[in-house]
Structure 1
Amino acid sequence: MNSKRISSYEIAYTYIGAVIGAGFASGQEIFQFFTVFGVKGLFGIALSTILYIFFGYIIMDLGSEIHGSSYIDILRFSSGKYFSTFMDMMITFFLFMSVISMFAGAGALFEQQFSISTLWGSILMSFITTVTILSGMNGIIHSMSALVPFLLFFIVATSTLSILSFPISLSDLNLYHNPSNLIRNWLLSTVLYFSYNIVIAISVLVPIGGKIKNKNLFIKGSILGGLTLGICCLLINFSLIRIAKQVSTIEIPMLYIAGKISPLIQFVYICILFISIYTTAVGSAFGFINRILNITNKYSKLFTIGMMLIAFLFSNVGFSNLVKYVYPIEGYIGILLLICLLKGKIKLTVKQKR
């Protein structure tokens, strides 16, 4: 990766691309973690935006200072041998679970929209994800930079049209739906939402930080990425609030909403969803492969193909079930990661002052 050619916009797009996956763009995770809490969910979205900016910078800064190539470098620096080994195992496992979730999301998209087996959507997503990973880090950054602006534009456009088509009232904001048994409090829900997303994002942010020394790029990239994620989250949330009861049992709520606006919007959103699934699948798969077997290793291509095949086989669990149960559990592990990051930043600051 040539650091001189990486801009703050590309950093932001890579950050956003790692986070905006099937759960985010489909509306499923926004509904599960924010919409169900009514007006309190708005406070959660504001807090998550701040967390995205703050921790995005910390991850890249730590990666830069310790010349990190993988998240394990930060874990070892901040937490020592034994705890970092435990966290490494958990993060690696959940990165792989994220890949499975993205493949399942592609399958759910094909089934809901085209009434065909989830198998075909999962097959297509696993294939293009594998091809991208085999192209290396440069291929990942370039694919994110090319696709994410297009992705963001249509998420914002569709959400805005939905809000105009289905105006919300104060009474809608006061509605409180049944959240998952694992997340009964809006504050805990926000922390879990952010922490499981950062588990995915750290896998691409650390290598970026390890290659770039200009901290202004980190700051700008984190602010751009965090604010954009927050705005998109808010717009999707407003889209879901008005018809929360109707979409509560639907695998892909935003696709249902897009269909209510117009068939053309629905078709465009199908493309958006597929791209968003792809970007997170790539980010998660890269983090997983790069941790187990360095992406430059001569056996990495064979290993990548084998692991993507296994992920595909496990993707038939069901998309909404993965979001509802696996994501919150991943979030609890992610809280430990946030503590590690804060500890690492404090340790680095103390070390620099000596």
Structure 2
Amino acid sequence: MIKAGLKWMFLILGTMIGAGYASGRELWQFFGQESAVAIGLFTLLFIISTYVMMMLSYKGQTIHYKPVLEKLLGGKMTILYDGMIFIYLFTTTVVMLAGGGAALIAVGIPYWVGILLISGCLVLLFIRGNKGVISINIIIIPLLILLLVGVLLKFGQTTKGLWIIDFTHQSNWTSAFTFTALNVLPLAAILGAIGREIKSKGEIWIAALGSGLLLGIISFLYNESLVHVGNDVMIYEMPLFALLKNYPYAMTFVMTVLLWCAIYTTAASGILGLVTRIKKVFHRPLWEIALGLVLIMIPFTTVGFAKLITILYPIYGILNLYS
């Protein structure tokens, strides 16, 4: 039970910790100053949302997200949200592809080469079906979390008073709702695809509590660090590099590779939600569907990573509040 629960926990974290989150751009977009209470509220809401969706998937023994939507929203709203979730997964995966290109610029790899590299790796991953997505998260996400938390704690040690919270100035608490809502639909898509593989309620508790608490802690550490270097954040397309600017190049290189891997796992989760839904219509191997999707997505990456997040994420955060 514990092993299975951790497996789902890392799948959830792999869905969350992608280009927007791991780079700091998504946190900076929604939180920033006076957001400690907002992050605590987000943690609670995320745990509840994850638990509910996993229970619905488990009870329905689902293999894609539509049955979960029907339970959450009812028949009429499901039609609307089925289309919305498909568009959402498509556009956010485009953001991940753009992030895959932007991340590698820091180590001298051209933007388009990075996009083609992550696209090719995504298609190859689905040769094993959805097992490949689950396996890659178990390998990459623990290492990414350890290194990211290590960087944030090291930054905190050299910055006096960084973790002190002033509870009299917490005006940004409402951001917790839009930030949680932003992540509801991709989670529904991913958790709906694994319902048949969940074997017990214990797995659900481990996955929901573990992922929520880890995300809450990391979000707080990350956000407070970014607030301290707020003037530098606007210079970097990926705010993480504002924290790493005084570190040796070797650390920047390692974090760039792991950031790229986080982007990869989130893109894989997005593709998983899409291909499991499309397979009900086209009945083709998952890797063929993935290839077709990636080829359609690549032209949209010309908009740029930071601009895509700035435009799309707040819109989806508001639209998702209903669900």
TM-score (norm 2): 0.92
Match among 257, 280, 283 for residue 297 of structure 1? 283
Secondary structure at the aligned position of 1:304 is classed as: helix
| Cα displacement (A) at 1:276 | 0.8
Aligned position for 1:13: 10
The farther-off stretch of 328-337 and 75-84 is 75-84
CA change 1:173–1:105 in 2 (3 A) is: farther
Q: Report the Cα distance in structure 1 between the residues aligned to 2:12 and 2:153, rounded to whole angstroms.
A: 23
Contact 1:192/1:331 (CA < 8 Å) preserved in 2?
Answer: yes
CA change 1:6–1:311 in 2 (3 A) is: farther
Q: Which amino acid aligns with 1:262?
A: P
Is the counterpart of residue 230 in structure 1 residue 216 in structure 2? yes
Secondary structure at the aligned position of 1:166 is classed as: coil
| Cα displacement (A) at 1:166 | 3.2
Match among 262, 278, 292 for residue 248 of structure 2? 262
Q: How does 1:142-221 map to 2 (within 5 A)?
A: 142-168=135-161, 186-221=172-207
CA change 1:187–1:91 in 2 (3 A) is: farther
Q: Report the Cα distance in structure 2 between the residues aligned to 1:148 and 1:79, rounded to whole angstroms.
A: 31
Aligned position for 2:73: 79
Q: Which amino acid aligns with 1:87?
A: Y
Q: Let me know the Cα RMSD of the aligned residues.
A: 2.3
Aligned position for 2:98: 104
CA change 1:129–1:313 in 2 (3 A) is: same
Aligned position for 2:266: 280
Aligned position for 2:43: 49
Is the counterpart of residue 58 in structure 1 residue 52 in structure 2? yes
CA change 1:78–1:54 in 2 (3 A) is: closer
Aligned position for 2:311: 325
CA change 1:259–1:246 in 2 (3 A) is: closer
CA change 1:296–1:56 in 2 (3 A) is: farther
Q: Which amino acid aligns with 1:278?
A: Y
| Cα displacement (A) at 1:78 | 3.6
Secondary structure at the aligned position of 1:293 is classed as: helix
Contact 2:27/2:223 (CA < 8 Å) preserved in 1?
Answer: yes
CA change 1:214–1:292 in 2 (3 A) is: same
Q: Which amino acid aligns with 2:43?
A: T
Match among 301, 304, 319 for residue 315 of structure 1? 301
Aligned position for 1:32: 29
CA change 1:288–1:198 in 2 (3 A) is: same
The 4+ residue runs of structure 1 with deviation greater than 4 A are 168-174
Contact 1:134/1:304 (CA < 8 Å) preserved in 2?
Answer: no
Aligned position for 2:130: 137
Contact 2:126/2:286 (CA < 8 Å) preserved in 1?
Answer: no
Q: Report the Cα distance in structure 2 between the residues aligned to 1:229 and 1:170, rounded to whole angstroms.
A: 17
Q: Which amino acid aligns with 2:94?
A: I
Q: Report the Cα distance in structure 2 between the residues aligned to 1:247 and 1:318, rounded to whole angstroms.
A: 17
| Cα displacement (A) at 1:236 | 0.9
Match among 89, 93, 118 for residue 95 of structure 1? 89
CA change 1:198–1:61 in 2 (3 A) is: same
Match among 287, 292, 303 for residue 306 of structure 1? 292
CA change 1:167–1:64 in 2 (3 A) is: same
Is the counterpart of residue 117 in structure 1 residue 114 in structure 2? no
Q: Report the Cα distance in structure 1 between the residues aligned to 2:109 and 2:276, rounded to whole angstroms.
A: 34
Q: Report the Cα distance in structure 2 between the residues aligned to 1:18 and 1:210, rounded to whole angstroms.
A: 19
CA change 1:294–1:159 in 2 (3 A) is: farther
Contact 1:31/1:240 (CA < 8 Å) preserved in 2?
Answer: yes
Secondary structure at the aligned position of 1:152 is classed as: helix
Aligned length: 321
The farther-off stretch of 249-258 and 147-156 is 249-258
Q: Report the Cα distance in structure 2 between the residues aligned to 1:210 and 1:267, rounded to whole angstroms.
A: 39
Give per-residue Cα distances to partners, 1:4-37, cap 9 Å, x unaligned: 89611111111100100011110111111111xx
| Cα displacement (A) at 1:194 | 1.4
| Structure 1: gaps (5+ residues) | 177-184, 338-354
Contact 2:229/2:242 (CA < 8 Å) preserved in 1?
Answer: no
Contact 2:11/2:137 (CA < 8 Å) preserved in 1?
Answer: yes
Identity %: 27
| Cα displacement (A) at 1:218 | 0.2
Give per-residue Cα distances to partners, 1:166-186, cap 9 Å, x unaligned: 334599979x9xxxxxxxx73
